[in-house]
Structure 1
Amino acid sequence: MLNALFKRHSAPLVVFVQRPMTIKSDADLNIQMKLFNDKKQFKKTLELFDEHKEKYIGTLSSFTITQALKACAQIGDLQSGSTIHRHISSRLSNDHYILASLIHLYMQCSDVARAESLFGMSKKKRKQCYVDNNLPEKAIDLFNEIEYPDDVNRIILFNACAQLKTKEALDLVKKTSKQIPKSFYSNPRLLTSLLDALMKCGDVAHAESLFYSSKQKVLPMYGAIMKGINRLNIYDNVELVMSQRFISF
């Protein structure tokens, strides 16, 4: 019996070693990370991401980053999420998918201050995109959601109002300009956008008053006034020509 027991315990020991997963391309990495997330195996997602981030962090796709941030948010891993944020901070201004994922992460982890900071960055970018794509009403709607607008917010608002050229837009320009502290008028970009909005919305007197009272005039400010006056002269000339044609008949 002792011999049988000895033989049983002296059997060769078989050790199973788990081989690391082979990832041949970014596509393979993305697929595998999404599979882990879909199965709620969030720690495995992050383990796989960690294997590749040190070597490829600069070239990893937005999809890869967002999958990693999703996993961090799901398990409340603020430390890993913050580390990812530091590595890819230079990409935030051009990638709203990563930005949205970071906002979600910080909100999930109750870091409201950082979430709001990133959200402010996102809103600035969206407003400028609306203005650039001739959607000024949407930019104005976003501006109205901001409790404490800064110079950049105001400049984008004035640009949006300048596109609309309506009485409602002019009223908003005047209302907003009255709320700007006097010290902010030292910002030439802000003043230029305000002058441009006033001229395009038809309040020439107000624009000229601001222009002549400004102590630090820059070339763009002259340009805003000159273009506005030139535009008005063109309209006046068109009206004059049209009236002469009707008289000639």
Structure 2
Amino acid sequence: MHSYYPVICYLLAIHFRYNDNQVVKSLFIVAKFFFKRLTNTQSSINLANEMKSLNDKKQFKKTLAILDQHGTTNITTLSNFAIIQALKACAHMRDLQRGKTIQNLIASRTKNDMYVSSALIHMYVECADITSARSLLDSAINKTPSMYGIIMKDALMKCGDVAHAESLFSNAKEKDLPSYGAMMKGYVGNNLPKQAIELFNKIPDPNDVHMIMLLNACAQLKTKQALDIVKNISKRIPKSFFSNPHILTSLLDALMKCGDVAHAESLFSSAKEKVLSSYGAMMKGYLDNNLSQKAIDFFYKIENPDDIHMIILLNACAQLKTKEALDLVKKISNRIPKSFFLNPRLLTSLLDALMKCGDVAHAESLFSSSAGKVLPMYGAMMKDCHRFL
């Protein structure tokens, strides 16, 4: 119940007891004030929800357009939730100047609201202004583990400053699960899988995200010891974790990269729910183990393959370098949906497969007719030219 209801009820009680018309006037004034306040609050909530909806759809320009319509000078009337959505849009758009403008206008909220502070830190990190991000962290009254996580993962780890990230993590008074995840992801991103595995063993109660990071670290190692860890994990993973499709995909990827194709095939066959990424992990695994034909055969099991599966299929054909593979590549090039060609990686893989299978003329024709040429496409054309000189 709203806090102003008792005030109105009290005034009504006085009116009915003393029949005082002056009380009625006062009542209308109070009601008008609170109705206006309620309307403004509801309007602010609707605005914030609309901004979040646009962010969820990755329509960040439209989110900022709403902010512009509301007016920069009126930004202080927006809720913290709306401010956070605006900062998220700035982060994705890498609009550092607008983000700074927002911070200057809401300076009083920055130190007192941990969520606004976190959004600001994230915005600065995404815009590569690490100095401002760390300054905000230092000045924040209520420092949270997630703030440290943003700095560690997005700023320091992405920049390769592992030592500083480790120091920050060690000095943090509270370490939550996302902080451990940020560090593990940072280790994997910096090609330090052993450190990621060691940190996993220190987590009190790891969740499915940490399990995925551990599997990714093992996939990066590609050693017998890593394979033993993966097999041990596959037996001990709680069944509830398999509701996360990324777990199965990472497990398949790790098994394949560590060379245990048979175990991966058995696990995939027994899995109740198979998602597209799991099919992709199997196909890529076959390629990594030089089993191109198996990757091609596996492709035909996918009901609705996407551009990623198509790329792996083309890579398998390029690995085979046979007449049958060339026939398949030509067949694919005629049937690929036009929307797939928006992915430059697909076109690069198509050119690479044609060149490796010996059809230079077709590759040259496709390259010439391509509207948007990227550097890897030039590389695909050049890489195998020596074979035909």
TM-score normalised by length of structure 1: 0.54
Deviation at 1:227, TM superposition (A): 1.1
Q: 1:178 aligns with which of 235, 244, 250?
A: 235
Does residue 54 (structure 1) correspond to residue 108 (structure 2)? The answer is yes
Deviations 1:3-26 (A, max 9, x none): xxxxxxxxxxxxxxxxxxxxxxxx
Count of aligned pairs = 162
Q: Which residue among 80, 88, 95 is the counterpart of 2:151?
A: 95
Question: Which residue pairs with 1:210 in the alignment?
Answer: 267
Deviation at 1:98, TM superposition (A): 11
Amino acid in structure 2 at the alignment position of 1:95? I
How far is the alpha carbon of 1:153 from its aligned partner?
A: 0.6
Query: Is 1:148 equivalent to 2:202 in the alignment?
Result: no
Q: Distance in 1 between matches of 2:190 and 2:250?
A: 18
Cα displacement (A) at 1:124: 1.0
Give the deviation of 1:183 after TM superposition: 2.6
- What amino acid sits opposite 1:126 in the alignment? M
* Structure 1 residue ranges, 4+ long, deviating more than 3 angstroms after superposition: 55-69, 89-93, 96-105
**Letter aligned with residue 188 of structure 1:** P
What is the identity percentage for the equivalent residue pairs of Structure 1 and Structure 2?
48
Change (3 A) 1:54 1:127: same
- Given residue 183 of structure 2, which amino acid in structure 1 is its aligned partner? R
CA RMSD of aligned residues (A): 3.6
CA contact (8 A) 1:62 1:98 kept: no
The aligned residue for residue 231 of structure 1 is 288
State the one-letter code of the partner of 1:185: F
Structure 2 runs not aligned, ≥5 long: 1-105, 112-116, 122-131, 153-163, 294-318, 320-389
Say if 1:66 and 1:101, in contact at 8 Å, map to a contact too: no
Distance 1:225 1:67 in 2: 46
**Pairwise CA distance, 1:231:** 2.3
Shift in Å, 1:233:
2.5
8 Å CA contact retained: 2:256, 2:289: no
Is the 8 Å Cα contact of residues 148 and 169 (structure 2) preserved in structure 1? Answer: no
Correspondence for 1:169 = 226
Alpha-carbon distance in structure 1 between the residues aligned to 2:147 and 2:283: 39
Per the alignment, do residues 62 and 102 of structure 1 end up closer, same or farther by CA in structure 2, a change over 3 Å counting? farther
CA contact (8 A) 2:256 2:288 kept: no
Distance change >3 Å, CA 212–CA 123, structure 1 → 2: same
Quote the Cα distance in structure 2 between the aligned partners of 1:63 and 1:183: 38
Asked whether the 8 Å contact 2:146–2:178 carries over to 1, the reply is no
TM-score by length of 2: 0.36
CA distance in 1, matches of 2:169, 2:270: 45
Partner amino acid, structure 2, of 1:159: N
Q: Is 1:136 aligned to residue 193 of structure 2? A: yes
**Separation (CA, whole Å) in 2 of partners of 1:197 and 1:157:** 10
Counterpart CA distance in 1 for 2:250 and 2:221 is 14
Distance 1:98 1:196 in 2: 28
In the TM superposition, what is the alpha-carbon distance from 1:195 to its structure 2 partner?
0.3
Q: Distance in 2 between matches of 1:225 and 1:124?
A: 25
Alignment partner of 2:289: what SS?
helix
Q: For residues 134 and 161 of structure 1, what CA distance do their matches in structure 2 show?
A: 11
User: In structure 1, the residue corresponding to 2:290 is in which secondary structure?
Assistant: helix
